[in-house]
């Protein structure tokens, strides 16, 4: 008889971990070798126990399931990840799959379905819950066309771009800015945004989801931080502003006060910062990213004062 599939259960609820262990250990071909209450502990346990598969929750304190999956797949690619979560929206499905999960299952699944999914993923066959698949298909269909109605607008701008030209010269500066454009476009595309237009030394993009827009902004700043460490002689400091609301869409462009405010928010940020409006902050939720209240700003050319929040970017370990 072949060796049983060795499983690590990662979930921040002890009752869930214990229930899964009790059922899975009853299966002759499955065995739970360890438990973890958050993503960081899961990584430590995987390194120590070398399970065949991690049954991974997404919502955990500290290092969440997506972050843990990405790190695990980078460091220990032989260990497979099967996500077990209550989230059905396409954002979570896509994030988990992009991080390297080989399967996605919902917590309301029957115990027998969990066991079958574990076996499927362990064999190398991807597994996707039917409801998660439907959500994914809907999300992909929506992302194939520019968003309309309530949209999150993202603006980027290079801090002290004139000094960059003076320091590098025209040709070198253009080469650096082409690299700049490629970094932003890749992040916008990966998070299913739409590039609206190129504006001097920045870009404007639109997202149907505020959370995806913020994830794109974080990805942009993380990519530039990494790029600047590798090329200290040609550092680029990008500032980003986001705002959400009903826009006027016309001929592939967006108009209205929501767009104007988003651009002014970007101009109020410092290089390396991400500032978001109060409505964007409410839509992304406090658990999605760490936010700091930066108080009220008087934005250039606008009469009202706007409360802005900074998205904190995790420093590399």
Q: What's the pLDDT at 83?
A: 96
Average pLDDT value for the chain: 90
Q: What's the pLDDT at 2?
A: 80
**Nearest of 101, 98, 107, 108 to residue 127 by alpha carbon:** 101
- The CATH number given to 5-141 is 3.40.50.2300
Question: Whole-angstrom Cα distance, residue 210 to residue 205?
Answer: 12
Mean pLDDT, range 20-37, rounded to an integer: 96
Give the tens place of pLDDT for each residue, 70-88: 999 999 999 999 999 998 8
Q: What's the pLDDT at 201?
A: 86
The DSSP H or E segment spanning 158 is strand 150-158
Mean pLDDT, range 160-164, rounded to an integer: 77
Question: Whole-angstrom Cα distance, residue 265 to residue 56?
Answer: 37
Mean pLDDT, range 48-65, rounded to an integer: 94
Give the tens place of pLDDT for each residue, 275-304: 999 999 999 876 557 899 999 999 988 989
Pairing mode, strands 53-56 and 30-36: unpaired
Q: Is the pLDDT of residue 108 over 80?
A: yes
* Residue 250, CA distances (Å) to 52, 164, 208, 211, 284 in order: 52, 34, 16, 24, 26
**Nearest of 13, 5, 60, 280 to residue 154 by alpha carbon:** 280
Q: Predicted confidence band at 316 (pLDDT cuts at 50, 70, 90)? A: very low
Q: At what angle do helices 65-75 and 90-99 cross, to 10 degrees?
A: 20
Question: Whole-angstrom Cα distance, residue 291 to residue 273?
Answer: 12
The total of other beta-carbon atoms located within 10 Å of residue 248's CB is: 12
Q: Please report which residue ranges of 144-209 form alpha helices under DSSP H.
A: 161-168, 170-190
The domain at 150-311 falls in which architecture?
A: 2-Layer Sandwich (3.30)
CATH 3.40.50.2300 spans which residues of the chain?
5-141
The total of other beta-carbon atoms located within 10 Å of residue 223's CB is: 16
CATH 3.30.70.1230 spans which residues of the chain?
150-311
Instruction: Enter the pTM of the model.
Output: 0.61
* CA angle at 288 for the pair 248 and 220, rounded to the nearest 5°: 65
**Nearest of 83, 33, 81, 79 to residue 57 by alpha carbon:** 83
């Amino acid at each position: 008889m072949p060796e049983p599939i060795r499983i690590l259960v990662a979930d921040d609820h002890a009752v869930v971990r214990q229930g899964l262990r009790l059922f899975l250990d009853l299966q002759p071909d499955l065995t739970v070798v360890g438990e973890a209450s958050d993503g960081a502990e899961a990584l430590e346990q995987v390194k120590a126990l070398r399970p065949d598969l991690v049954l991974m929750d997404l919502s955990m304190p500290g290092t969440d399931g997506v972050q843990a999956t990405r790190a695990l797949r980078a460091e220990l690619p032989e260990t497979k990840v099967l996500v077990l979560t209550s989230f059905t929206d396409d954002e979570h499905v896509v994030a988990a799959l992009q991080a390297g999960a080989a399967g996605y299952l919902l917590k309301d699944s029957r115990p027998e379905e969990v066991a079958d999914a574990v076996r499927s993923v362990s064999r190398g066959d991807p597994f996707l819950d039917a409801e998660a698949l439907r959500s994914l298909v809907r999300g992909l269909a929506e992302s194939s066309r520019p968003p309309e109605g309530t949209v999150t607008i993202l603006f980027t701008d290079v801090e002290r771009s004139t000094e960059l030209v003076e320091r590098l010269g025209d040709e070198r500066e253009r080469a650096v800015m082409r690299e700049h454009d490629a970094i932003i476009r890749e992040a916008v595309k990966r998070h299913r945004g739409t590039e609206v237009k190129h504006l001097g030394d920045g870009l404007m993009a639109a997202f149907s989801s505020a959370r995806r827009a913020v994830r794109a902004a974080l990805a942009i700043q993380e990519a530039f931080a990494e790029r600047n460490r590798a090329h200290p002689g040609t550092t680029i400091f990008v500032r980003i502003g986001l705002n959400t609301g009903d826009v006027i869409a016309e001929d592939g462009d967006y108009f209205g006060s929501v767009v104007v405010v988003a651009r002014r928010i970007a101009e109020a940020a410092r290089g390396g910062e991400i500032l978001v409006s109060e409505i964007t902050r409410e839509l992304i939720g406090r658990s999605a990213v760490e936010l700091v209240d930066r108080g009220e700003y008087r934005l250039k050319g606008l009469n009202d004062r706007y409360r802005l929040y900074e998205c904190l970017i995790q420093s590399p370990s």
